[in-house]
Structure 1
Amino acid sequence: MRATRSGISWRLFLFSCLFLGSSSQDFGGQTQFICTSVPKDMDICAATLQNSVPGEDLKTTVMQLRETVLQQKETIMNQKETIRELTSKLARCESQSGAEPGDARPGGRRKDTGSKNTMGDVSRGPADTLAQLSQTLQSLKQRLENLEQFSRSNNSVQANSLKDLLQSKIDDLEKQVLSRVNSIEEGKPGLRNETEQRGRVESTLTSLHQRITDLEKGQRDNRPLDKFQLTFPLRTNYMYAKVKKSLPEMYALTVCMWLKSNASPGVGTPFSYAVPGQANELVLIEWGNNPMEILINDKVAKLPFLINDGKWHHICVTWTTRDGVWEAFQDGVKRGSGENLAPYHPIKPQGLLILGQEQDTLGGGFDATQAFVGDLANFHIWDRKLSVGEIYNLATCSSKAQVGNVFAWMETSLDIYGGASKWTFEACRQLN
C-alpha cells in the first residue's frame, strides 16, 4: 500500500510539494507568491527543496505529511473492512434467527442448536446478539476516537473528513442493528415476553438484594459484630460462607459452635477446611444415615452427637496430634473420646475454610447432598485443647467464656455467598 501513491493521497502530496516550492514576499502589507521554474524532466519536489531556504525543515515537513496521509489511508481501509465484516454478521444473524432450533431444514436435516459462527452461539436470543454487536460498535467508536486524537495532533484536514465519514457510517450501522433486532423480536412474541419477564425478575432481585443489604447494614449498626447467626435454608451447592483468612499450622485444636437443624437424613457439613493436595484436611460432616464424623487428613472418627431435633445445641471437638487423641462435647457434657485420629499429623496452613459445604477440591467441588441445612452461630477455633471447664462455660454462656484465638466469630471475618442469610442471634436465649 505504501508503494502506490494514487487518488487523494498523491494529489495532496503533489500539492504540498508545489506549495512548499513557492515563496512569498511582503511589500507594504501585501503578499506576493513567486513561483520557481523547474526543468521538464526534473523531480518537482526535489527542485522545490533545493530552491527553498530552510531545505532540511521543509524536507522533514514533506516527509511527515506524506507519512500522515499514508497512515490515514491505511486507517480508512481498516475501517471499511470492519464495516463490511459487521454488515456480513448482521445478515447472517438475521437469516439464522428466522427459524427456531427445531425447524426442518432442506434435505430433511434439522438445525444444530450447538453450531457456532463468528457471532457466537446462534441459539442465543436477540438481546444477546444486540449486546455483542454493541460491543463491536463500541470498538469501532473507540478506534474512531483514536483517529480523531491523531488528526488533532497532526492538524490534518484529510483525517477530520475521514472521521466525519466514518462517524456517519457507524451511526447508520447502529440504527440498522437496532432495527433488525427489533424486527426479529416482533416476529417472536414468546421470546420477547421471556426477555421482558427475565428483565423484570432481575430488576426485582436487584431491588430485593439492595433492601436486604440495607437491612443488614442497619442490623450491624445496632448490634455487636459477633451477635449473629448464619442460616442455610436449602440443600444447594452454592450457599456457603468463606472465612477470609487461612488457618495456621496446628498440633492441637478445639472447634466449637452452636447448631440447629432438623434435616434428615443428616444435617450435612457445618464446615470443611481444605489445603492444596488434601480436600479433607479438617471436616465436620453428617451425611446420609451415618453418624456425625470428624475428618483430619482424611482419617475418620465417629462422633456421638444427636442434634437434628430442630433445637439449638452447643458442640465442641478437641484433638491433639500426639497419639491422635480426640474428645466430643454436646451442650457442655463430654459424650465420647478416642485416639489414633491422624496421629502426629499437624493441621496444615495455607488452606481454605468453608462453612456450609464440603470441599472436594480446594474452594470448590461442592455436592448439594452434603450441604449443611440449618442455622450456625458462634463458630470458634483454638490452637490448643480447651479444658472441660472452659467448654462448659461456652455451652452455658458464662461470663468467663473465651473466643477462639485462631478464628473468632465476627461478621467482618466472613464472606457470604449464594443466598445464605444472617440474623441477629443471642447464643443462650433458649437457656433463659
Structure 2
Amino acid sequence: MLETESLRGRQLLFMGLSNKYASLDNHHHLRDLCTFTVCIDLNKTEESIKTWAPFSYDVNSSSTEMEKVELALLVNKSILYAFILGNKTELGMDFPAYSMHRICCTWDGNKSLFEIFQNSEKLRSVRLYNSTRKCLKPDGTLILGHLHKNQNGSPTILSSFVGILHYFQMWDHVRDPQQMARCDGGNVVSWQGDYWSLGGVRNELAHHQPCGGEAATTAAPPSTSKPPEATVTGPEIRCGGVHHGSFAIHE
C-alpha cells in the first residue's frame, strides 16, 4: 500500500521525469460530475520547455487516443489546449515562466458550458453543443504534473511538467471568479486532504505562496487581459503505443 499524506502548506517541484508523479490514492475516487470547478496554481520554471501538462484525469480503457482523456490541460508547442469529454479547445497562448498563475476550469453540463480562467480573469467560454455526454466518468485516475492515459489499469505518461504546482482543488459546482481567488479547500478533491501519493515528487514548504499559510484567506494574482473567444474543433491529437510516448498535433 502506497503511503499517502496531506499537502497542506506544501508545494510540489516537478523536474520533468515521467516516472515521478503525484496522484490520488486508490481509495479516493471521483464520482460522476456534471458540474465542477478545478483550480491549480502553477509556476513554469523552464522557459525552453514548450510541451507540458499540469494535470490530467482519465478513466481506465484500452484506448491510445489522447482525445479520450476525460479532463486535461496541455501546452503543446507553446499553445494551450483544454480537453473535456472528447472535445478540444485551442486557447492559442502560453503562460509566462517564473511567476505563479492560478488556472481554473469550470464545467456546467446543464448548459454544456466550459470556461477557463487565469488569475480570476476569463480566458474562454465555449459551448460544447456537439458533446453527447454531460458528465465526467467516475473512478478514474487524477495525476498532477503530467498528461496521462489510464490504459489497462496503469498510467501511460505522455507529457511532463517542469516547475512548481500548488493548491489543486476541485469542487462539485461552478464557482465564480471571486470564489476562485480564495484559499478554500475543494469538496471533491482538496490539497489539504490526506490522500495524496507523491510518487517520488519532491515537495517543500510553501509559506510564501498566497495559499501556503494556515491562515490564508485570499489569493489574487495579477489580472490579465481578456483574449477573444475560442473555437471548438473535433479531436486532432493522437498518441501511440503504451510507453512513455510522444505525440503530435496534426494541423
User: Once the 2 structures are TM-superposed, how far is the Cα of residue 402 of structure 1 from its aligned partner?
Assistant: 2.2
Query: Does the C-alpha gap of structure 1 residues 225 and 376 become closer, same or farther in structure 2, counting only changes over 3 Å?
Result: closer
Query: Does the C-alpha gap of structure 1 residues 305 and 226 become closer, same or farther in structure 2, counting only changes over 3 Å?
Result: farther
Aligned to 1:275: 59
Query: Does the C-alpha gap of structure 1 residues 256 and 318 become closer, same or farther in structure 2, counting only changes over 3 Å?
Result: same
In structure 2, distance between residues paired with 1:411 and 1:253 = 18
User: Once the 2 structures are TM-superposed, how far is the Cα of residue 306 of structure 1 from its aligned partner?
Assistant: 3.5
Which protein is richer in helix relative to its size? 1
Given candidates 394, 402, 421, the residue that maps to 2:202 is: 421
Given candidates 358, 364, 374, the residue that maps to 2:147 is: 358
In structure 2, distance between residues paired with 1:292 and 1:376 = 17
Which protein is richer in strand relative to its size? 2
1:81-96 matches, cutoff 5 A: none
In structure 2, distance between residues paired with 1:318 and 1:287 = 21
Q: Does residue 266 of the first structure (1) align with residue 57 of the second (2)?
A: no
In structure 2, distance between residues paired with 1:254 and 1:266 = 26
In 2, are the aligned partners of 1:321 and 1:343 still within 8 Å (CA)?
Answer: no
Residue 366 of structure 1 aligns to a residue whose secondary structure is: strand
Residue 107 of structure 2 aligns to a residue whose secondary structure is: strand
Aligned to 1:232: 14
Query: Does the C-alpha gap of structure 1 residues 262 and 422 become closer, same or farther in structure 2, counting only changes over 3 Å?
Result: closer
In 2, are the aligned partners of 1:305 and 1:330 still within 8 Å (CA)?
Answer: no
User: Once the 2 structures are TM-superposed, how far is the Cα of residue 411 of structure 1 from its aligned partner?
Assistant: 6.2
1:206-245 matches, cutoff 5 A: 225-233=7-15, 235-244=16-25, 245=28
Q: TM-score, normalised by structure 2?
A: 0.70
1:114-133 matches, cutoff 5 A: none
Aligned to 1:327: 115
Q: How many residues align?
A: 198
Given candidates 241, 249, 267, the residue that maps to 2:32 is: 249
Q: Does residue 408 of the first structure (1) align with residue 190 of the second (2)?
A: yes
In structure 2, distance between residues paired with 1:383 and 1:350 = 15
User: Once the 2 structures are TM-superposed, how far is the Cα of residue 350 of structure 1 from its aligned partner?
Assistant: 1.2
In structure 2, distance between residues paired with 1:246 and 1:411 = 13
Task: Please give the root-mean-square deviation of Cα atoms over the aligned residues, in Å.
Answer: 2.6
Query: Does the C-alpha gap of structure 1 residues 411 and 238 become closer, same or farther in structure 2, counting only changes over 3 Å?
Result: farther
User: Once the 2 structures are TM-superposed, how far is the Cα of residue 267 of structure 1 from its aligned partner?
Assistant: 5.2
In structure 2, distance between residues paired with 1:311 and 1:270 = 15
User: Once the 2 structures are TM-superposed, how far is the Cα of residue 288 of structure 1 from its aligned partner?
Assistant: 2.6
In 2, are the aligned partners of 1:248 and 1:350 still within 8 Å (CA)?
Answer: yes
Could you list the runs of 4 or more consecutive aligned residues of structure 1 that deviate by over 6 angstroms after TM superposition?
none
1:72-98 deviation line (CA, Å, top 9, x unaligned)? xxxxxxxxxxxxxxxxxxxxxxxxxxx
Q: Does residue 383 of the first structure (1) align with residue 167 of the second (2)?
A: no
In 1, are the aligned partners of 2:54 and 2:73 still within 8 Å (CA)?
Answer: yes
In 2, are the aligned partners of 1:267 and 1:373 still within 8 Å (CA)?
Answer: no
Query: Does the C-alpha gap of structure 1 residues 307 and 343 become closer, same or farther in structure 2, counting only changes over 3 Å?
Result: farther
Gaps of 5+ in 1: 1-219, 395-400
Quick one: higher RCO (CA 8 Å, sep 6+), 1 or 2? 2
Aligned to 1:315: 103
Larger radius of gyration: 1
Gaps of 5+ in 2: 213-218, 222-251
In 1, are the aligned partners of 2:45 and 2:164 still within 8 Å (CA)?
Answer: no
Residue 412 of structure 1 aligns to a residue whose secondary structure is: coil
Residue 359 of structure 1 aligns to a residue whose secondary structure is: strand
1:24-173 matches, cutoff 5 A: none
Aligned to 2:238: none
User: Once the 2 structures are TM-superposed, how far is the Cα of residue 386 of structure 1 from its aligned partner?
Assistant: 0.5
1:357-405 deviation line (CA, Å, top 9, x unaligned)? 22232432213xx1111110000011111012212x32xxxxxx42111
